[in-house]
Amino acid sequence: MPSLKEVRGRIQSVNSTQQITKAMKMVAAAKLRRSQDAILQMRPYSQRLSLILQNISASIDDNVENPYAEERAPNKILLVVVTSDRGLAGAFNSNITKATNTLITEKYSQQANAGNVHILAIGRKGFDFYNRRGYTIHKDFVTTFSILSFGAARKAAEFAMDAFVKGEYDKVEIVYNEFKNVATQIVRVEQFLPILPAQKEKDSSSNTDYIYEPSKEEIFQELIPKSLKVQFYKTLLESNASENGARMMAMDKATENAKELIKELRLVYNRSRQAAITKEILEIVGGAEALAQG
């Protein structure tokens, strides 16, 4: 049985840890409210912009040039891995790396063996993970989450878009956590480039005849890069909200575990203290009996 001093020290240590996890939970909750508001406001805009783009693309000729939709043999792959800068968020980061590894193994194993799978790391955890494993990593956007803004997301999106148009990569995919609620984050693997073909409306009677100024083709060419950048920014907002939700739940669980551990340690402390007192009483009684007999 441990000594009273050891148990007392462990209780103080766990209590200090509990105070830290409780504070981190409160900080994550405050950040979650802001990040949740941001993604909830962005989703309608992103969905409407995508709908407009699909409606226009469905009504124009198929021969209109679109460099972001060019289908090529997937010889060179760029994977955008969106993680966090810090840990203590449960399985938030490990789920992303597992999904990325599964994607590489099941879909791009030949390209990976040839060294043609490159990583665009957004978030330090993903960068550290794949840097240790020898992947070619673009690290210019690792710290994007330090000051998350549309400008920072736009630069990362433009890098991927320009690399695709120049033929440096044949396909770009994004792996990230989608925010569902505080307790649930869904790992998504989405193709960023080339753009998936728009689905034609089967019911032509629902189509509306618009007057376009300038032409549909010019609007289409203008909307494509803007829509891609907005979708990329939305992905980062989803991941940011998911991270804060995961960290808040992880810190809440850690606080509860610390509370239970303190209860157990106090029980051990009381038992040890009672055993020590009982031992002292027995020694006193034994000493008294020895003196009486003498």
Cα atoms in the 13 Å half-sphere on the side-chain side of 154: 6
User: Tell me, what's the pLDDT at 216?
Assistant: 72
Helices 216-293, 92-107: inter-axial angle, 10-degree rounding: 130
**What is the per-residue pLDDT for 285?**
83
Each residue's pLDDT tens digit, 266-283: 998 888 888 888 888 888
Determine contact, residues 127/108, Cβ cutoff 8 Å.
Answer: no
Q: Assess whether pLDDT exceeds 80 at residue 284.
A: yes
> Taking a C-beta distance cutoff of 8 angstroms, is the pair 233, 42 a contact?
yes
Task: Say whether pLDDT at 205 is over 60.
Answer: no
User: In this model, does residue 203 exceed pLDDT 60?
Assistant: no
Mean per-residue pLDDT, 215-239: 88
Task: Examine the pLDDT at 102 and tell me if it is beyond 60.
Answer: yes
The pTM assigned to this predicted structure is 0.85
Q: What is the pLDDT of residue 206?
A: 46
Residue 60 pLDDT > 70, yes or no? no
Note the pLDDT of residue 188.
96
Considering only residues 160 and 294, tell me which one the structure prediction assigns the higher pLDDT: 160
CA distances from 229 to 67, 190, 218, 219, 235 (A): 15, 14, 18, 16, 10
Average pLDDT over residues 101-128: 96
123, 127, 128, 130: CA torsion to nearest 10: 140
Is pLDDT larger for residue 96 or for residue 205?
96
Domain boundaries, the chain: 4-21+252-288, 24-197+210-250
Residue 126 is predicted with a pLDDT of 96
Q: Does a cis peptide bond (omega within 30 degrees of 0) precede residue 194?
A: yes
Counting residues of the chain whose pLDDT is more than 70, the rounded percentage is: 92
Residue 131's pLDDT band (boundaries 50, 70, 90)? Answer: very high
DSSP 82: E
Residues 21-59: tens digit of each pLDDT: 999 999 999 999 999 999 999 999 988 888 877 777 766
Span 182-201, average pLDDT: 83
pLDDT band at 204 (very low <50, low <70, confident <90, very high): very low
- The pLDDT tens digits of the residues spanning 229-269 come to 999 999 999 999 999 999 999 999 999 999 999 999 999 88
278 or 132, greater pLDDT = 132
Indicate the DSSP class of residue 146.
G
Return mean pLDDT, the chain: 89
* Alpha carbon distances (Å) from 84 to 68, 76, 172: 28, 26, 20
- Domain 24-197+210-250 fold is Pyruvate Kinase; Chain: A, domain 1 (3.40.1380)
